Amino acid sequence: MEILSDSDLDSDVLQGAIGNSGDITIKTGRLVVRNSQIGPSTFGEGNAGNFKIIATDSVELSGQIYKREGDNSSEGSVGFPGGLFAQIDAFGKGRGGNLSVETRRLSVSDGSKIQAATFGDGDAGNVFIRADEIDLFETEQQNFFSTGVFAGVQTDGRTEAGIIDFRNGRPPQGNGGNLTIQTGKLSLRDGAEIFAETTGIGNAGKISILASESINVSGISTGALERQRTSKITASASERSTGNAGSLTIQTPLLNVANGGFISSTSEGIGNAGTMTINADTIRLNNKASLNANTRSPNKDPNKEQATINLNTNALIMRRNSNITTNATGANVIGGNININADVLAAFENSDISANSTDSRGGRVKITSQGIFGTQARSFPTPESDITATGANPSLSGTTEINIPDIDPTKGIIELPNEVVDATTQLSQLCPRTPEEVANMPRFIITGRGSLPPSPLEPLTGTARIPLAILDDGGRREGQERQERQENRSSSTPQIIEAQGLVKTADGGIALVAIAANATPSAGNAVPKCPSDRS
């Protein structure tokens, strides 16, 4: 299914009308939306419908809508972003619809977006995306609108003389919806964004991302400096807002943030910054990448919660001016909290971890790790890699706590006994009671090495009884005579009898004897006596 070049597929409540817009559901193999905008919205008074897309193969969104000749603008100027929308317009009043996308591959580029938002009065809907692979990216084309996935309480982004133009005369009012993404691989590159924001009266929604393989956030868009965008995942409360930023939760085996990309939960208004929690096997920050929950405002309540970053990982690696910060700017704005649990933490090339406050008290940094390399806690920032929690002056410094669990090198080693074990105590003593038991008792017989082949280095043993070769009768007679002489010699040799005991001779010596009726065994080799037969 393709929707191209200014085509529309929508369900709207028009300006001045009262009522709800209908739901839209699209089921297809492949959906392509180029330079077009589709989805339910309300410009009047009423709720926007829900928008659901199921595409078995892919969803591809790209481009923006350009105003046509005769619509009070110069021909070819940008009118609206392209993509999928469920929202309350600036003149609308009601509840925004939910927007869900389920597909194998999702691609969003060139100023298109997926968005559930309120620009008027009312709460925004939620965004839910499930895809095996998600690719969000900007190209070299100059785009007025940013590319990505958005949920929140928002203005339309257009300005007059640098002042945001609220079309109905006041900022939007309502709470932002939650943004949930479930995927295998998520890529944001060259300026693409995932954003849950409040710019008006109300709180921003939550961001929850689960990626079973990896998340990559990298790069800055090309073009004029004022139009450049940074790849980012953000839960934010803007300077003009009165609400709190939402929480941000990420879970993935590998999180890679690089080349200026960042992930943040920030507040520049009077509300709180949200809590950022990242659970990943490996977290890599490289080349001016950052994780931050910074706060800035001149009117904050010092008793409000501070921004917090929680990182749980096997390895946290920071390189080339990368940062993890909960810094604060403004009166009564206290630095936030950073909690890191990492088996290994390595920070090099001026990569900092900081909870500093410019005008108030520093925050708290707590790190638990089995190994920390390239960085250390310091009382002030340096050109090296630092861990700091500075305040407006030394008396307002925060705290840095580094815990390295003690490792016992002897843990798991088996301690051997100091005394030699008496082997006789390890043998079971069996005492026969009847002649049958004696006859059937097991026996342990030492036969020597008769069953083993001789070593190649030893001479052959034994005597050949059969001649190996007979050359003639003389030789045969000589062999027989030699055998008879050996047999006679054997018969004349006294028989050797094994000693049966020890006796003490008259001169005090010890002699081995074949028969020793009164011989007494040595006490050290005493054989346990069996109990008497009571049968």
What is the DSSP annotation of 480-524?
HHHHHHHHHHHHHSPPP----EEEE-TTS-EEEES--TT----GG
Judge contact between 9 and 3, C-beta under 8 A. yes
Dig out the tokens for 345 from the structure.
């933490």
The b-or-e profile of 43-60 (16+ CB within 10 A means b, else e) is bbbbbbbbbbbbbeebbb
**CA distances, 388 to each of 248, 315, 372, 400 (Å):** 24, 20, 15, 7
Dig out the tokens for 119 from the structure.
């620009």
Question: In 3D, which of 202, 205, 143, 200 has the Cα closest to residue 167?
Answer: 200
Tabulate helix, strand, coil % of the chain (nearest 5).
5, 40, 50
Determine how β-strand 8-13 pairs with β-strand 37-42: parallel
Judge contact between 288 and 319, C-beta under 8 A. no
Q: Is the dihedral of CA 253, 53, 116, 70 positive or negative?
A: positive
Counted residue by residue, the chain has a size of: 535
Q: For residue 166, which amino acid is it?
A: F
Q: What is the pLDDT of residue 535?
A: 44
CA–CA separation, 345 and 368 (whole Å): 9
Judge contact between 283 and 314, C-beta under 8 A. no
Dig out the tokens for 189 from the structure.
């590159």
pLDDT in tens, 106-136: 999 998 999 988 787 888 889 999 999 999 9
Dig out the tokens for 303 from the structure.
């008793």
CA–CA separation, 111 and 63 (whole Å): 5
Q: What is the pLDDT of residue 426?
A: 63
Weakly modelled stretches of the chain, pLDDT under 70: 1-17, 19, 42-44, 67-78, 155-170, 223-226, 298-305, 407-417, 420-433, 437-438, 442-495, 515-535
Judge contact between 99 and 128, C-beta under 8 A. yes
Judge contact between 216 and 284, C-beta under 8 A. no
Question: In 3D, which of 236, 224, 234, 284 has the Cα closest to residue 259?
Answer: 284
Q: What is the pLDDT of residue 45?
A: 76
CA–CA separation, 33 and 511 (whole Å): 112
Burial of 423 (0-12, 13-18, 19+ CB in 10 A): exposed
CA–CA separation, 412 and 64 (whole Å): 65
Q: What is the pLDDT of residue 522?
A: 47
Q: What is the pLDDT of residue 216?
A: 98
Dig out the tokens for 398 from the structure.
């925060």
Burial of 245 (0-12, 13-18, 19+ CB in 10 A): buried
The position carrying tokens 């008396």 is 395
Task: Annotate 174-217 with three-state secondary structure.
Answer: CCCCCEEEEEEEEEEECCCEEEEEECCECCCCCEEEEEEEEEEE
Question: Cα angle vertex 367, ends 361, 372, to 5°?
Answer: 125
As separate numbers, helices (DSSP H) first and strands (DSSP E) second, the chain gives: 2, 34
Burial of 80 (0-12, 13-18, 19+ CB in 10 A): middle
Q: What is the DSSP letter of 476?
A: H
